[in-house]
Amino acid sequence: MPYTIEARVQQEVIQINRDKKTITVKDLISDKTYEEGYDKLVLSPGASPIRPNLEGIDNSNVFTVRNVVDIENINSYIKQKGMKDIAVIGGGFIGVEVAENLKLANYNVTLVEFANQVMAPFDYDMAQILHKEMVDHGVELILDDGLSKISDGYITTNSGRKIDAQAVVLAIGVRPETNLAKEAGLEIGETGAIKVDSNYLTSDRDIYAVGDAIEVYHRLLQKQTRLALTGPAQ
C-alpha cells in the first residue's frame, strides 16, 4: 500500500508563518516562492558541519560530510586529481568512519584528533583498542593535537607538525540548524538546539521537531543534551 507522500526536492522552506499556519517555500530551480498550508508541521532540518575559522579552511580541497552528495563530491574530487594523501580532522563517529573507508580505498590516511582519544563517548581504556585497530590498518593517528592551518599539499597542526594532505575532510562536529525555528519565534533550549517536550512538541502546539536539530533529556546526566546520531534521530 503506497504511503501517498509527496516529496519535493530542490525546494527550500524559507519561512514559517505561524499566524496563518503556512510555510513559505522557494523553488530553487525557478526562483519563485509559494505558500503551503499545514495543520501540523514537523521540523527536521538536521545539523550542519562546523567549519572553524582557520587559514585555508575555504580551499576547494577541504570537505565536510553531511549527506550523500558530500560523499560523492569527495570521491570524484580525489579520483579526478589522483590524490594519495588525505587528512581527516576529528575522531568522532563520522571522522573514524570516513578514515576507515578512505583506507579501504587504498589512500594514505591521517586522522587528527584534538583530544587524547578518538570516540569521546568511550572510556579512555576502551578507546585504546580502537587506536590499535586503526594503527594496525595503516591509519596515521595523531592525538592531543588539532588543526592549525591548511596549505597547498599539507596541513599544519597546533604543535607545528606538517602532514602531507592533498585533500582534507572536516569532521569536528555539527551545530543544529535552528534558523527557521528562531525566525518563527519557537523556543530554543539551553544547548542551542530546538526545545521540545517528551512528545517532540515545540513551544507551538501545532509544530513538532525531531532529529539532530533538537535537544533531548539525558537520563544519566539528568540534563538537556544534543544527541546527533542517526539511530536516536530517526
User: Which H or E element spans position 74?
Assistant: helix 68-80
CATH 3.50.50.60 domain range(s) in the chain: 11-47+176-233, 51-172
Say what the pLDDT of residue 1 is.
76
For residue 151, give the 3-state DSSP assignment: strand
pLDDT digits (tens, 9 = 90+) for 74-117: 999 999 999 999 999 999 999 999 999 999 999 999 999 999 99
CATH hierarchy code of domain 51-172: 3.50.50.60
pTM, whole model, 2 decimals? Answer: 0.89
Residue with cell 514559517: 16
Residue with cell 495543520: 39
Helix and strand element counts for the chain (H, E): 5, 17
List the 162-164 sheet strands across, edge first.
147-151, 154-157, 162-164
CATH hierarchy code of domain 11-47+176-233: 3.50.50.60
Q: Taking all residues of the chain, what is their mean pLDDT, rounded to a whole number?
A: 96
pLDDT digits (tens, 9 = 90+) for 117-156: 999 999 999 999 999 999 999 999 999 999 999 999 999 9
What is the total residue count of the chain? 234
For residue 177, give the 3-state DSSP assignment: coil
Say what the pLDDT of residue 230 is.
82
- Read off the amino acid at residue 58: D
